[in-house]
Structure 1
Amino acid sequence: MSGLDHYDTISIGSGEAGKYVCWNRSSQGKKTAVIEHKWLGGSCPNIACLPSKNVICSADVVYNSRKYVARGMLKAHGTGVDMSLVRERKREMVKDLIEMHELVFKTSGAELILGHGKLVGDKTVEIELKDGGKRTLTGDNIIICTGSRAKIPDILGLAEAKPLTHIELLELDEVPKHLIILGGGYVGMEFAQAFRRLGAEISVIEQNDTVLRREDEDVSSALVDILKGEGVQFFTSATVSNVSGTSGESVMLMGTKAGKPFSIIGSHLLVAGGRVPNTEDTGLEAAGIELTQSNHVKVNEVLQSNKPGVFAVGDCANSPHFTHIGFDDFRVVSSFLNSQEPLRSTKNRQVPYTLYTDPELAHVGLSEVEAKRAGIQYRLVKLPMAAFLRSRTLDAAEKGFAKALVSANNDTILGFTALGPRAGEMLPVVQLAMSAGLPHTSLSGLIITHPTMCEGLVSLFSAVPAKS
């Protein structure tokens, strides 16, 4: 094997963790290569996080314009939404992000190889090049960063109906007349509100008795009420057994709801019912890499597989499916490769998240359901969003609330949830206190700029009940 084909680190996939590991190693003078067959930079800048938030922003502009026209604050001008322009705005952003990634590769020293890579032996990667031909590389360290894809449930007729996933939905050039969303999770809720605001009729089908089933009941019910107020229809405890027609024309779903026959007809169908890892056709068996029952790469606390020097990161390793967790996966692997002390790991790490509905839902730490299930005693403090005075200036005081769980035995913060405008921006303040083990009084005693959303944290944590 030619020495020119040997690398310090090779990433199969250019997603968040893989690209950053290689960029970091390259900055240290190591020879690295990133192999990508489709989405440069991974799904986030191309088809997921940033593109969806771009479209959500456009939907919010449309919604607020209509709201203020109805109030007489704005003069009406034109009707309807030009989805081709919404799409073009999104495409322009994606184009800029791709150009940014290309520039980083040029300046970082990490080699970008376009093609499909898979393991063909111990730390050996074969690449079917995009422009034809093959290359074979070896590496001291291999990063599996192949991501995940939308799960298409095994329902009679569903695949034949050619349902949309988030990828195709973000490429529509027209507003669906009636969009049926199969799945009431986080992706489904974001798109339900956004496309309702763009003018579509929306029906959300959820097999459980509530949407966002991992959230506390007061959180999920409050958000459902908000979306219902905007015209989104919810069908819970609904099981779909048969799908007919074609998404984009006419599609019908049939099954049962609460045990009774149920059917619904729409123009478009979006599947938003979870993810499956992209671990097939990557040569993992040939390399002796173990998988879990869910076909994720089996990894330890530093994201190393059963083969030393072979790591898996992001969705394919079943890390929480967030780009910011992918970035932390990069830090975990780099910590191990760089022999840092103390060694970073995935054990007990914070997993904050934000749902980009309006209002936003932000959370970190324990929920009430999780605390009760684990038998952890806590003190609960909860304030309506109107107590966060900035919300009044944002015309958002009537929706949502914030709550925190504080240990019953000491003053440490166990969890925090906010349903309100810009709620995600409040997370880092609470996270820092939690990660440092600071008492809740460290927040209630802060001097925070008025009026900001974080100012409301002073009121929230000042209201924590005394220890019994």
Structure 2
Amino acid sequence: MARPILMPKPGQMTEECTLILWCKQVGDAVHKGDVLFEIETDKSTMEVETFEEGVLLAQVVAEGETAPVNAVCGWVGEPGEAVPATPATTPAPAIAPPPTAAMPAATAASPAPPASPALPVAQAPLPPAAGAAAPAAPAAGEADRDVRISPRARRLASASGVDPSVVRGTGPGGRIVEKDVVAAAATLASRPAPPVPPVPAAAAPVVPGEEGPRQLSRMRRVIAERLTASWTTTPHFTVTVAVDAGRLMALRARLKAAGSSLTVTDFVLAATADTLAEFPDVNSRTDGTSVWPRSRVHLGMAVSVPSGGLVVPVIRDADTLTVTEIHDRAAALAAAARAGTASVDDLTGSTFTVSNLGMFGVEEFSAIINPGEAAILAVSAALPTPVAVDGQVEVRPVMRLTLSADHRLVDGAMGAQFVRALQARLEAADGFRLEAATPPEPARPRRSEDPDWFDVIVLGAGTGGYTAAFRAAQLGLKVALVDADRIGGTCLHRGCIPTKAILESADLAHRVREQGAGLGVVSDGVRIDYAATAANKDAVVKRMWTGLKSLVGKNGVEWVAGRGRLEGPSTVVVSLVDGATRTLTANDVILATGSRVKSLPGLAPDGQRIVTSDDVLRWTELPASLVVIGAGAVGVEFASAFDDLGVQVTLLEYLPAIVPLEDADVSRELQRSFERRGMTVVTNARFDTASVVVDENGVRLTVGPDGGERGEIRADAILVATGRAPNTEDLGLDTTRVVVERGFVRVDGLMRTEEPHVWAIGDLVGGLLLAHTAAHEGLIATHAIAGERDVHPMDYVRQPRATYSRPEIASVGLTEGQCAERGLPVQVGRVPFQAIAKAVIHGSREGFAKVIAHAETGEVLGVHIIGPHATELIGEASFAAALGATADQVAGATHPHPTLSEVLGEAAMAVRGRSINF
């Protein structure tokens, strides 16, 4: 059966490509890995390999034609097979040749010029390879065509000084390949230099210096088309400011003296990114009728390339980067662009562009806005200029910045405010996040012989704390881990691990009782022995704790049992558990003291009738009925587990939806599932704590929906699951410059506080109060302390979230509502588990997977799963989000059958309406 060969999608923003060369002709044998054809975008060229075996049956897209991504370019199959009809592609628009001026009569009658003299070596035609026929003379106009040469051969020719136009190609269709360039370079090296030929006399009057016509490159044609379209359809206006760059130049000089390679451009890019975050409208786009704000700043920087023209490499999420990171990424992208190795994704997707001609001494210029952007910044040279300062004339380095903006998106006042804010940032030259670019403070003397001195002290041995401590020790640092409690913190002893052990028992009870008979497993008289459940929970915790204790010594971390308190940024006084005091000092301190359960005002827990999650984990027998206040992750997990264990559960949530941080579709699905099980769920719940009565028979309270009728609820106990409070008290933060906002410690993207050598991670800083998030924060802080390069700032949007209810919930990225709030155009794919064979086999058919993708770029913005083993399935989605993958890429990954993972592949396919099984 004939198989189609599709036009690939070389980049997220690419919608069409031009096929510039067929490397196989109809009837040629085709094998896996063969280069079938070569394509070109306005940014790059690439070879397209085939994964098919057979012969090339047809070429649907001709050389020079442009076709959309995923269009059929050709067919491969067995000899003689019929080829299905394929819609015609759209040829690339023809470029009309420039008009030819009429020549004087004398020119027409002039004799023909003499034959050209011998060319110098660098341009002389090269002999063919041994055994090959000499090349025929080029036909008229043939020399004006673009040379057929593979991208790798083109780069090699450029590096070797070989002119591709005089090299004979031995590849398919006469294309020049690498071995041709190597042979040509060897021939050039072996030739003696010929004498310089005499310059022939002019045979006819010509324009001085004029040569024969040559075609514009595709890149220059595309640039011209795009900028012409922008100039004619976009109402441009410009605003210019003169920046006194004196302080900026002085900062750069100091850094250069310390060994830094930062440039003025790096500071301009960093300041622009921060200013765009302040003025989001300047970072938006429009189609003429609608406006799309953008929450992420992707800076484009114009770079000239040796082949002629400009490309715009993109520094993604520039507002989250330090100047050093911007410098490193800009240098790498520019080098790749000039070498021709930049990917299409490297060259597309900018939200704002900076064009800098300052290095050429340009005093002032304006630039044309790139299509799809609201503005572009033109940066000129910092030139000595007389400036009035305090009534005196001084010569200062002045740099002119000109903003060209789309008047539909940015009015004059906003444009002026933007450039003024940018001007202020550059003139102050004191608000840059420099990090490693700034000469580090003199290292505090290492006193390795002092048992109370450490490179790093970590306060708090929860998941984030011990992760940071272990990694710091692995990086060769001397580390102390301080905690008065057992290692493992809330997650191991009062949270993640013990609750999941209970949930495992609850899930098994449900499966045996509700699904066993249907699967042919009959077990009469199933009962819950909760004392055994609690004992298993304790055994799991003990086993994990024992393993963690051994890892302290294995990693060379010193355990200090006690409560630590800062006395200044580098001193920690520890009140040891034995009553003694020990004073420690360190270069850096990481705060990881976690959080504690909190209750509602007027509803104080008593450990019996009004309980917290800590109290519940000490139960050895279950109540008959339970009211759970709070339907976040903790509340729904306990509600689900105790319902499966036979407890009558009422779930109350103050907000309009349970699990309110999840996607609205997920929230509705979970509530329907709970109610189908017989659980009472009240949203918009209101009650007066004064109505809560506790007596020997249990508790009762009056509750109802907001604005609705209230009624009395009776239960054996109330579980208050309304959140957690950070442990910032009595840490000695007042002896440092650490800032606390709304109870949480304020940090930057690398988890650094306002005190340079004090860091904070985990529940202490807010963000997501999740164990794996705390661990990730700990790794970021530790690598930053150790001076590691390319430490990425914390990104909470791409952190996965998991809730272990039945059905399970897992998500990563934005919800559909959050996308709408940010004005992001989206496409959504949703597939139910009942369409997945393994879910039907498992007997768990409720729930779905939902993939939210950007409607233009295809990037996965969010994945939301509710259903069997959702918490195990989210790992793939988290990986995809971390890589910035598209829905097509997720769909293109093979998901083994039959597995639950197929639901994610199907949902990704459904984004384009192409789900196979639903």
Q: Could you tell me the TM-score, scaled by structure 2's length?
A: 0.49
- Which residue pairs with 2:768 in the alignment? 320
**How far 1:12 moved relative to its partner?**
0.9
How far apart, CA to CA, are the structure 2 residues paired with 1:68 and 1:443?
A: 32
CA contact (8 A) 2:457 2:481 kept: yes
- Which residue pairs with 2:553 in the alignment? 106
> Residues 124, 380 of structure 1: CA spacing in aligned structure 2 closer, same or farther, 3 A cutoff?
same
SS at match of 2:622: coil
- Between the two proteins, what is the percent identity of the paired residues? 28
CA contact (8 A) 1:319 1:326 kept: no
How far apart, CA to CA, are the structure 1 residues paired with 2:695 and 2:556?
A: 45
What residue identity is the alignment partner of 1:17? G
- Which residue pairs with 2:459 in the alignment? 12
How far apart, CA to CA, are the structure 2 residues paired with 1:465 and 1:24?
A: 43
Deviations, residues 58-111 of structure 1 (Å, cap 9, x unaligned): 001111111146659444454532211110000001111111111001211101
SS at match of 1:300: coil
Match of 1:429 among 870, 876, 879: 876
- Which residue pairs with 1:251 in the alignment? 699
- Which residue pairs with 1:186 in the alignment? 633
CA contact (8 A) 1:302 1:332 kept: yes
- Which residue pairs with 1:373 in the alignment? 821
- Which residue pairs with 2:887 in the alignment? 440
Deviations, residues 14-50 of structure 1 (Å, cap 9, x unaligned): 0122212222222333221111112422211111111
How far apart, CA to CA, are the structure 1 residues paired with 2:747 and 2:519?
A: 58
SS at match of 1:269: strand
Q: Give me the CA root mean square deviation.
A: 2.3
Name which structure has the greater RCO, CA cutoff 8 Å, separation 6+: 1
CA contact (8 A) 2:459 2:482 kept: yes
Deviations, residues 239-296 of structure 1 (Å, cap 9, x unaligned): 221254449951122355333333322111111111110111222123342101x211
1:62-461 superposed matches below 5 A: 62-68=509-515, 73-155=520-602, 163-242=610-689, 244-246=692-694, 250-259=698-707, 260-292=709-741, 294-347=742-795, 350-397=798-845, 399-461=846-908
Structure label with greater radius of gyration: 2
What residue identity is the alignment partner of 2:714? I
**How far 1:188 moved relative to its partner?**
0.7
> Residues 89, 443 of structure 1: CA spacing in aligned structure 2 closer, same or farther, 3 A cutoff?
same
What residue identity is the alignment partner of 2:457? I
What residue identity is the alignment partner of 2:576? L
What residue identity is the alignment partner of 1:313? I
> Residues 143, 41 of structure 1: CA spacing in aligned structure 2 closer, same or farther, 3 A cutoff?
same
CA contact (8 A) 1:149 1:277 kept: yes
How far apart, CA to CA, are the structure 1 residues paired with 2:590 and 2:706?
A: 46
- Which residue pairs with 2:99 in the alignment? none
How far apart, CA to CA, are the structure 1 residues paired with 2:662 and 2:798?
A: 17
- Which residue pairs with 1:57 in the alignment? 504
What residue identity is the alignment partner of 2:830? K
How far apart, CA to CA, are the structure 2 residues paired with 1:309 and 1:444?
A: 45
How far apart, CA to CA, are the structure 2 residues paired with 1:118 and 1:269?
A: 35
Deviations, residues 381-410 of structure 1 (Å, cap 9, x unaligned): 11111222211111012x111111111112
SS at match of 1:425: helix
**How far 1:414 moved relative to its partner?**
1.3
**How far 1:435 moved relative to its partner?**
2.6
CA contact (8 A) 1:303 1:312 kept: yes
CA contact (8 A) 2:815 2:862 kept: yes
Q: What is the total number of aligned residue pairs between the two structures?
A: 465
> Residues 349, 361 of structure 1: CA spacing in aligned structure 2 closer, same or farther, 3 A cutoff?
closer
What residue identity is the alignment partner of 1:128? S
> Residues 262, 285 of structure 1: CA spacing in aligned structure 2 closer, same or farther, 3 A cutoff?
farther
> Residues 246, 101 of structure 1: CA spacing in aligned structure 2 closer, same or farther, 3 A cutoff?
farther
What residue identity is the alignment partner of 1:383? V
CA contact (8 A) 1:249 1:268 kept: no
> Residues 23, 74 of structure 1: CA spacing in aligned structure 2 closer, same or farther, 3 A cutoff?
same
SS at match of 1:3: coil
CA contact (8 A) 2:797 2:813 kept: no
**How far 1:316 moved relative to its partner?**
0.5
CA contact (8 A) 2:703 2:713 kept: no
Is 1:43 aligned to residue 490 of structure 2?
yes
SS at match of 2:651: strand
How far apart, CA to CA, are the structure 2 residues paired with 1:366 and 1:156?
A: 34
CA contact (8 A) 1:142 1:311 kept: yes
CA contact (8 A) 1:186 1:355 kept: yes
SS at match of 1:285: helix
> Residues 179, 421 of structure 1: CA spacing in aligned structure 2 closer, same or farther, 3 A cutoff?
same
Moved more, 208-217 or 273-282: 208-217
How far apart, CA to CA, are the structure 1 residues paired with 2:450 and 2:604?
A: 52
Moved more, 11-20 or 151-160: 151-160
What residue identity is the alignment partner of 2:465? G
> Residues 247, 302 of structure 1: CA spacing in aligned structure 2 closer, same or farther, 3 A cutoff?
farther
CA contact (8 A) 2:798 2:813 kept: yes
Q: Could you tell me the TM-score, scaled by structure 1's length?
A: 0.93
SS at match of 2:764: helix
CA contact (8 A) 2:609 2:699 kept: no
What residue identity is the alignment partner of 2:721? A
How far apart, CA to CA, are the structure 2 residues paired with 1:385 and 1:156?
A: 41
